[in-house]
Structure 1
């Protein structure tokens, strides 16, 4: 009975090595968040000082966006910290899904920053005012672009290396922030040429850009919450399983993200004449190939079904439950 159970449950690499890899991934993610948070906080502080004496609502919108981007590091950092905790008898898959909850918070923060920026721009449209120190406003826009572009590259690189979609999304968010920072230059240039409406108009354009980021971030988090994966990963898993010696064909393949790691549940169809030990060896090799062939896959549950005899229904007792 014990051997039969092994055919139905995950066959993994050394668990300690997997745990070490997971901890290192989370540690790298937390370092990336800490460094980028510090840089964006300094960038936003510099811009806030210039907003105070210039009165530019375009720069205000960009500053609010940078503050929101910096604050997104906090829920993500907490999620990475929770993800390092061991699984328990209640949370049997661990705490990796905390990243998805952090993603929901990030979406809400982006929405608030868009609302505040839009409100400030509309108020200024209704009551146009000249901005002061247009040169300093332009300089602040360049500072915002430089800070966000560096953070974007850093977050995207680390996020892709550790498999964190939330960190990659946050990096893409920072890159968009950089482009909106460049838009501040347009507002400053218009103000310098005696066009006070240029500043609030650019502020509204920045608000629109934030809304596009919001849409993309919400879509990505929705996919994670609904356990969506790239269909190409499913096709690759099916191909890998079909190439395992002893596997006649692959059955159902299910993949899901838990934090920044993948887990799989797969079915394989085997020769009914194989012994239990031989079937177990095929299942082990199937998981082994999946772990090496699919990026960031940590474990797979491999269910083995016999291919025959003809007319046999091996799951008859379960049909009513499916």
Structure 2
């Protein structure tokens, strides 16, 4: 499958998230105000901010589909990672807001119990967002998209927020409003941890970090290619869901151009068999130590 086909597929996940957030935020805010639930209203506002994050992911995927130009020789694939980074910032802000609101409610508990309908809406929202999370997670693994994976984790966080809101509402109905605050605090911590994980992965990608395990496994594959005497240099980086690898290998100095070219093609084929979304550039260097060894012999 073409790389840009994967990016277009990723847009489906972003549109699904946007649609779900629009639907749920309207219901939560409406029922929250009607039923007198601060937790549900906060959850609804949380989904409003999630719409912004999903739009950012969608824009990142759209920009990633632009072909290379004079200023971007490798294309615009890193726009997807930048979208993930932006999503992590928004998630972190939401998590801090949840923590702050939970602490405030400890000192200013609500005296009027909310309507039971608000709890039903909260748990219904959690089920919807869990379904969206499963879909986006599966899609992100299929197309190997960091932005869609970030959106999936955001969906999961929102499902947890809704569960926390539902538990807190039930606690308030039963006369124990402190449960609302404790649950909201724990959910806030989960959201912040998820945001930090996405932030760390995005920063590593944007700073051209490369997985050491991938280097070791691919190095073994390269050294096993017939004609490769040594792997002199290995550099790798990722742009969105695409991996770029630059190699320098040494071969026998008496090989002709056709034989050397065959080695480069075989290296590319072997690597792309392991890593399909991969662009490989191989530089061939002659190993003159072979001639010296033959002369000494």
Paired residues of 2:123 and 2:163 also in contact (CA < 8 A):
yes
Between the aligned partners of 1:162 and 1:94, the Cα distance in structure 2 is: 18
Which of the numbers 300, 313, 322 marks the counterpart of 2:280?
A: 300
2:160 is aligned with 1:179: yes
Alignment of 1:162-311 (within 5 A): 162-297=143-278, 299-309=279-289
Between the aligned partners of 2:65 and 2:173, the Cα distance in structure 1 is: 52
Which of the numbers 28, 37, 40 marks the counterpart of 2:9?
A: 28
Deviations 1:261-291 (A, max 9, x none): 1111112221112112211221122112212
RMSD value, Cα: 2.1
TM-score (norm: length of structure 2): 0.90
Between the aligned partners of 1:131 and 1:197, the Cα distance in structure 2 is: 14
Q: CA shift at 1:232, angstroms?
A: 2.5
Higher mean C-alpha displacement, 228-237 vs 240-249:
228-237
Q: 1:44 to 1:79 in 2, by over 3 A?
A: same
Equivalence for 2:84:
103
2:109 is aligned with 1:128: yes
Q: Which runs of 5+ in 2 are unaligned?
A: 293-297
Between the aligned partners of 1:311 and 1:185, the Cα distance in structure 2 is: 76
Paired residues of 2:106 and 2:178 also in contact (CA < 8 A):
yes
Between the aligned partners of 2:113 and 2:276, the Cα distance in structure 1 is: 52
Deviations 1:103-137 (A, max 9, x none): 22212211222233333333332221135444222
Higher mean C-alpha displacement, 27-36 vs 302-311:
302-311
Between the aligned partners of 2:176 and 2:48, the Cα distance in structure 1 is: 28
Using CA pairs under 8 Å that are at least 6 residues apart, name the structure with larger relative contact order, 1 or 2: 1
Deviations 1:62-108 (A, max 9, x none): 33433333332211111111111110121111111111221222122
Paired residues of 1:66 and 1:177 also in contact (CA < 8 A):
yes
Paired residues of 1:255 and 1:265 also in contact (CA < 8 A):
yes
Equivalence for 2:39:
58
Equivalence for 2:137:
156
Paired residues of 1:57 and 1:121 also in contact (CA < 8 A):
no
Between the aligned partners of 2:235 and 2:38, the Cα distance in structure 1 is: 49
Between the aligned partners of 1:207 and 1:106, the Cα distance in structure 2 is: 16
Between the aligned partners of 1:44 and 1:265, the Cα distance in structure 2 is: 47
Alignment length (residue pairs) = 292
Between the aligned partners of 2:119 and 2:54, the Cα distance in structure 1 is: 27
Q: 1:61 to 1:224 in 2, by over 3 A?
A: farther
Which of the numbers 28, 51, 54 marks the counterpart of 1:70?
A: 51
Paired residues of 1:114 and 1:211 also in contact (CA < 8 A):
yes
- SS of match in other structure, 1:88: coil
Q: CA shift at 1:153, angstroms?
A: 1.0
Q: CA shift at 1:301, angstroms?
A: 0.8
Deviations 1:239-265 (A, max 9, x none): 221221211232322221112111111
TM-score (norm: length of structure 1): 0.83
Between the aligned partners of 1:268 and 1:158, the Cα distance in structure 2 is: 36
Q: Which runs of 5+ in 1 are unaligned?
A: 1-19, 313-322
